[in-house]
Structure 1
Amino acid sequence: MKVINLYQEENEAITLAVKNDRQAQQWIYSKYSPKMLSVCRQYIKDLQLAEDVMITAFMKVFVNLGRFENRGSFEGWIRRTMINECISYIRVQKKVHFIEDSTDLEKIDDATDTQFSIEDIQNLIDSLPDGYKIIFNLFVIEGYKHKEIASMLGINEGTSKSQFAHARRILKSKINSLKDNEKNY
């Protein structure tokens, strides 16, 4: 199947989509849905649920498209909508708990000498408790600062840092276990 680029400019597609042009909306959806499903999948383990959340978020994108002010990238704007919808979904499911913890945060060595597949890494991240996983993804994958994460989630900045430290500790332990298993084979 040959894909025909109907819109020379993304801005043209956005302008038409604001006017409820279904072809323009379909073009935007087709262009961004693979990346956005990946974003949703980072937060929601079940692929079908992640896809449902992505579709709901795209509905919000199209409803609010007139509010996009061309500041920053359009993809970044969509991505933030996806992340917010994932967080909202997880909150509604009441699967996330943030534990206030003021213990000292230990520095964990990031160096690993073993290659893992993307699937292995995603499975390790998926195994984290939801609160840890959300903060880990926001900090490591999305690049938000702890202050921004705290504001987004309605928690203290220290809680964000603590949850991140716990997530790293758990992941490091699991990576070490995987490396040990590889050595035994």
Structure 2
Amino acid sequence: MTDDAILQGCLRNDTSAQRELYNRYSPKMLSVCYRFAHHREDAEDMLQEGFIKVFSQIHTFQNKGAFEGWIRRIIVHTCINHLKKNKKFNESVDIIHATSVQVREESVPSIVQAKQVVECIRLLPIGYRTVLNLYAIEGYSHKEIAEMLDIEESTSRSQYTRAKQMLEDILVKKKIIMRPREKTNWLGVAAGR
């Protein structure tokens, strides 16, 4: 069944089309939820809530952009709202982790398994994890993140910087990456060269 056929079926409230949409996109969207959630149960709750919104708002999809992208935006916003509703975003974090490491760029060595990195991201405090996911993985700007989370843009930037450092510390501690002996980037190129 094509995305268009699924969309048309869902607009008619056809349960087989709704089941097909859920079966096709729920595994990818669960992985999105999993990055925001602390426990699998929370991720599953976010997923279910997100798909309820997808089905109730499907009539608003205007065929501008990818259908999967539209679903993903709803899921991401559902995750954020879930965290806000449960007041999980405002967990306090230690300010001691405030140096920088590049994560957004394609600089992580190819030997690092994506699953290991996701597991390490999940170890971050919820505020750091949320900003890191929104900026580095979902591609939102700090301005958009600030609006979504009701925080200052500078707070988003500092949370991201701290998240990157804490993530590097976790990756090093778990021996997924090695900290360079001299100031270098993750590709091993000395700084300033």
- Whether these two folds match at TM > 0.5 is yes
Greater Cα offset, 164-173 or 42-51: 42-51
**Among 72, 75, 83, the residue aligned to 1:90:** 83
CA separation of 1:106 and 1:181: change in aligned 2, threshold 3 A: closer
Distance 1:56 1:150 in 2: 23
CA separation of 1:170 and 1:65: change in aligned 2, threshold 3 A: same
Please give the residue correspondences for 1:18-167 in structure 2 after superposition, counting only pairs within 5 Å: 18-97=11-90, 106-108=99-101, 115-167=111-163
Q: 1:123: how far off? A: 2.1
Q: Structure 1 vs Structure 2: percent identity of aligned residues? A: 36
- Could you say which structure has the higher helix fraction? 1
Q: 1:118: how far off? A: 3.0
Tell me the number of residue pairs that the alignment of Structure 1 and Structure 2 aligns. Answer: 171
Q: 1:58: how far off? A: 0.4
Distance 2:110 2:64 in 1: 40
Partner SS for 1:95:
coil
Greater Cα offset, 83-92 or 114-123: 114-123
Q: 1:176: how far off? A: 2.2
Give 4+ residue runs of structure 1 displaced > 4 Å after superposition.
Answer: 109-114
* Two-structure CA RMSD over aligned residues (Å): 2.4
CA contact (8 A) 1:114 1:179 kept: no
Distance 1:112 1:144 in 2: 20
Which sections of structure 1, spanning at least 5 residues, go unmatched? 1-6, 100-104
Partner SS for 1:179:
coil
**Among 167, 171, 175, the residue aligned to 1:175:** 171
Distance 1:16 1:75 in 2: 16
Q: 1:57: how far off? A: 0.7
- State the one-letter code of the partner of 1:45: H
CA separation of 1:125 and 1:24: change in aligned 2, threshold 3 A: same
